[in-house]
Chains A and B, each alone.
Chain A
Amino acid sequence: MLNYLLQRLATIVPTLFFVSILIFGLQQLLPGDPAIALAGEERDPEVVAFLRAKFHLDEPLPVRYWYWAKGVLHGDLGDSVRIQKPVTELILEKLPVTIQLAAMAIVIALVIGITAGVVSAVKKDTWWDYGANVFALWGLSTPNFWLGILLILFFAVRLGWLPASGYVSPFEDLKANLASMIMPAFVLGNAFAAVLMRHTRSAMLQVLSSDYVRTARAKGLDERVVVLKHALRNALIPVITLGALGLGELLGGAVLTEQVFTIPGFGKLIVDAVFNRDYSVVQGVVLFTATVYITLNLLADLAYFLVNPRMRH
């Protein structure tokens, strides 16, 4: 166990190192003088000179990377040129909103995706199966910003049941918060549900044809017990790992969803930063997302290890 854990942790270090180089390298793509580009709209020579000194722009590239990485390791992702705040502070400010959105989306995706996957595997080659497959294709092919607009059109404009946009803090008014988050969470969870459905279906099909399931059936166990207790529990093991890989898509989708529903989260932060040419914020958000993604995948691997006894030997 400890060995595996250490091995897995050891692969993370080089990955994070290359991620940091990649994100630092983004700066090099800026056309012209980076100090002027980083200064954004402001062309004040004093600001430019300040930035040049701050980012050591006169020094060679490896030295600049060293200064930057040292800051990052100390939790300093730079400052927003626009909002005059540290990037770390901005990210932590917006993070809870996106966490709530993502958590709700994951719950919706798990419920829809796993149910649809189990049903389509158990009822293989019936209309249930076709229906679930059509749903998965729909989920994978619908741009989530379009789905968002359609839902707004139907539930907010036509029926007037839900607010079209805006965000209310759950600490202010929980009911209004849920009303404003349910549509975006559904939109975000939709594609993820499709991914989960496909994984669950193929894992279930494999498990259902295995010997121990046949034994369980031969023992005369209730079919429901066989499917839910014997088959599903084992089928979910690969779904955990594959699901964790899908979380990256979810984080990307959050950017679009937040934009459609004007939710002031993490995705809105990066889009606003792009248009304000607030490059430190863009870099900070990407670095942060990558770190979260790597950590989540590590946790998924550990969970896989813990729930699968065969892996321990």
Chain B
Amino acid sequence: MAAVLFEEVKTQTGGNKTWRRLRRRRRAMFGLGVVLFFVVAALLAPWLAPYDPVATSWTAVRAAPSSSFWFGADELGRDVLSRIIWGARASILAGLVSVSISIALGVPVGMLAGYLGRWTDALISRITDAMLACPFLILAIALAAFLGPSLTNAMIAIGISATPIFIRLTRAQVLAAKSEDYVEAARALGNPHWRIALRHILPNIVAPLIVQATLAIAAAVIAEASLSFLGLGQQPPAPSWGSMLNTARNYVEQAPWMAIWPGLSIFLLVLSFNLLGDGLRDALDPRHK
């Protein structure tokens, strides 16, 4: 009991230290701020959005930005701002869900490969190589094509395509941790393998995984926007930044605002996750400058 308590206190101070280091990095804090801004906007979409995001209005077709439509209206007279706010849901959901899929698949498989070694490792490594040989976006397009176009399938496709990165990272971290003294000690004490892997190794490799996960969310947000842009993600009329850009392409001359705001939103959200990931890497690993 005392040991458990001690461990909890220890990890808590570790977290505090990281947070203190992170807080000093202005770029990372900017990233965190923007991410939180979009998360709040997505959660409060029904109350924040001035209009129904799918309600069309023939009097507002391609209306320029004005006091009644801050970001203008699209080709069917739908309010661009409301669609951006609702679209944040698709983007953030896609980022979180697909990376959760990658972690849920990649971390256990990577641990198996790193911990068991030998033929298990050889087999898993070859499969990982094969998946990495297919460019991320092309694999995601192919998977989404065969699964059928929908936001859920896009998230599955992105999650699977990003899995090999987590397998590789986990495997490498486990290999490094395996030869550390504390693992040797745990083994000498007669701990079972599953306990060594889960209680001793896993907590020590979480830091690089968190960094990778943050950067992977950035990639997943772009990937979801890309798939939606191609028509393989969120299906119309449901709003998504990628599909908004797809329609905007046809009205660049008449209604440039249709293209500017959704693109800017993707850019800001992705940039923020990248800044946050870079900051976390520096904060969690002081050696990395």
A residues adjacent to B (C-beta < 8 A): 11, 14-19, 21-23, 26-27, 29-31, 137-138, 140-143, 145-146, 149-150, 152-153, 157, 164, 248-249, 251-253, 255-256, 259-260, 270-271, 273-275, 279, 282-283, 285-286, 289-290, 293-294
B230 at the binding interface (Cβ < 8 Å) = yes
Q: Is A15 touching B129 in the complex (CB atoms < 8 A)? A: yes
How distant is B207 from chain A, measured CB to nearest CB, in Å?
A: 20
Among all A-B residue pairs, the 5 with the closest Cβ atoms: A252-B137, A146-B263, A18-B130, A248-B135, A141-B271
Which residues on B sit within 8 Å (CB–CB) of A283?
A: 142
How distant is B279 from chain A, measured CB to nearest CB, in Å?
A: 12
Which residues on B sit within 8 Å (CB–CB) of A271?
A: 141, 230
Q: Is A274 touching B252 in the complex (CB atoms < 8 A)? A: no
Q: Is B259 touching A259 in the complex (CB atoms < 8 A)? A: no
Task: Tell me whether A137 and B271 are in contact in the complex, defined as CB-CB below 8 angstroms, given that A19-B133, A29-B147 are known contacts.
Answer: yes
Which residues on A sit within 8 Å (CB–CB) of B236?
A: none
B145 at the binding interface (Cβ < 8 Å) = yes
Task: Tell me whether A285 and B266 are in contact in the complex, defined as CB-CB below 8 angstroms, given that A22-B130, A146-B245, A260-B249 are known contacts.
Answer: no
Of the candidate stretches B4-12, B192-200, B218-226, the one touching chain A is B218-226
Chain A residue with minimal CB distance to B258? A149
In the complex, what distance in Å separates the CA atom of A251 from the CA atom of B275?
25
Chain B, 198-256, CB within 8 A of any chain A CB: 218, 222, 225-226, 229-232, 242, 245, 248-249, 252-253, 256
Of the residues A21, A138, A143, A289, contact of B138 by C-beta under 8 Å: A289
Could you pull out 29 A-B pairs where Cβ atoms are within 8 angstroms?
A: A11-B129, A14-B126, A15-B133, A19-B133, A22-B130, A23-B142, A26-B142, A26-B146, A27-B146, A140-B274, A143-B222, A143-B226, A143-B245, A143-B263, A145-B229, A146-B266, A150-B260, A164-B252, A252-B135, A252-B138, A256-B137, A256-B229, A270-B141, A274-B141, A279-B146, A282-B141, A282-B146, A290-B133, A290-B134
In the complex, what distance in Å separates the CA atom of A149 from the CA atom of B266?
14
Task: Tell me whether A255 and B143 are in contact in the complex, defined as CB-CB below 8 angstroms, given that A19-B130, A137-B274, A140-B274 are known contacts.
Answer: no
Task: Tell me whether A255 and B141 are in contact in the complex, defined as CB-CB below 8 angstroms, given that A18-B127, A149-B248, A294-B133 are known contacts.
Answer: yes
Chain B residue with minimal CB distance to A294? B133
Which residues on A sit within 8 Å (CB–CB) of B267?
A: 141-143, 146
Q: Is A249 touching B248 in the complex (CB atoms < 8 A)? A: no
**Which has the most chain A C-beta neighbours within 10 Å: B222, B225, B232, B262?**
B222
How distant is A134 from chain B, measured CB to nearest CB, in Å?
A: 10
Which residues on A sit within 8 Å (CB–CB) of B130?
A: 15-19, 21-22, 290
B270 at the binding interface (Cβ < 8 Å) = yes
Q: Is B133 touching A153 in the complex (CB atoms < 8 A)? A: no
Task: Tell me whether A248 and B136 are in contact in the complex, defined as CB-CB below 8 angstroms, given that A15-B129, A270-B141, A282-B146 are known contacts.
Answer: yes
In the complex, what distance in Å separates the CA atom of A256 from the CA atom of B136?
13
Q: Is B143 touching A26 in the complex (CB atoms < 8 A)? A: yes
Q: Is B138 touching A286 in the complex (CB atoms < 8 A)? A: yes
How distant is A123 from chain B, measured CB to nearest CB, in Å?
A: 17
How distant is B157 from chain A, measured CB to nearest CB, in Å?
A: 10
Q: Is A293 touching B137 in the complex (CB atoms < 8 A)? A: no
Which residues on A sit within 8 Å (CB–CB) of B147?
A: 29
B60 at the binding interface (Cβ < 8 Å) = no
In the complex, what distance in Å separates the CA atom of A313 from the CA atom of B248?
57
Q: Is A256 touching B230 in the complex (CB atoms < 8 A)? A: yes
B148 at the binding interface (Cβ < 8 Å) = yes
Binary CB contact string for chain B from 72 to 113 against chain A (1 if under 8 A, 0 otherwise): 000000000000000000000000000000000000000000
Q: Is A31 touching B148 in the complex (CB atoms < 8 A)? A: yes
Which residues on B sit within 8 Å (CB–CB) of A27?
A: 146
In the complex, what distance in Å separates the CA atom of A17 from the CA atom of B133?
12
B139 at the binding interface (Cβ < 8 Å) = yes
Chain A residue with minimal CB distance to B134? A290
In the complex, what distance in Å separates the CA atom of A22 from the CA atom of B138?
13
Chain A residue with minimal CB distance to B156? A29
Task: Tell me whether A286 and B137 are in contact in the complex, defined as CB-CB below 8 angstroms, given that A145-B245, A152-B252 are known contacts.
Answer: no
Task: Tell me whether A145 and B146 are in contact in the complex, defined as CB-CB below 8 angstroms, given that A22-B131, A286-B138 are known contacts.
Answer: no
Q: Is A253 touching B232 in the complex (CB atoms < 8 A)? A: no
How distant is A309 from chain B, measured CB to nearest CB, in Å?
A: 27
Task: Tell me whether A251 and B135 are in contact in the complex, defined as CB-CB below 8 angstroms, given that A27-B146, A153-B256 are known contacts.
Answer: yes
Q: Is B252 touching A29 in the complex (CB atoms < 8 A)? A: no
In the complex, what distance in Å separates the CA atom of A22 from the CA atom of B44?
41
Of the residues B126, B133, B242, B256, contact of A293 by C-beta under 8 Å: B133
Task: Tell me whether A157 and B133 are in contact in the complex, defined as CB-CB below 8 angstroms, given that A145-B245, A251-B138 are known contacts.
Answer: no
Task: Tell me whether A282 and B133 are in contact in the complex, defined as CB-CB below 8 angstroms, given that A142-B267, A150-B263, A260-B249 are known contacts.
Answer: no
Task: Tell me whether A149 and B245 are in contact in the complex, defined as CB-CB below 8 angstroms, given that A15-B130, A18-B130, A255-B137 are known contacts.
Answer: yes
Which residues on B sit within 8 Å (CB–CB) of A293?
A: 133-135
Which residues on B sit within 8 Å (CB–CB) of A289?
A: 134-135, 138
Chain B residue with minimal CB distance to A286? B142
How distant is B138 from chain A, measured CB to nearest CB, in Å?
A: 5
Which residues on A sit within 8 Å (CB–CB) of B226?
A: 143, 145, 256
Q: Is B134 touching A286 in the complex (CB atoms < 8 A)? A: yes
**Which has the most chain B C-beta neighbours within 10 Å: A21, A140, A164?**
A140
In the complex, what distance in Å separates the CA atom of A159 from the CA atom of B138?
34
**Which has the most chain B C-beta neighbours within 10 Å: A141, A153, A251?**
A141
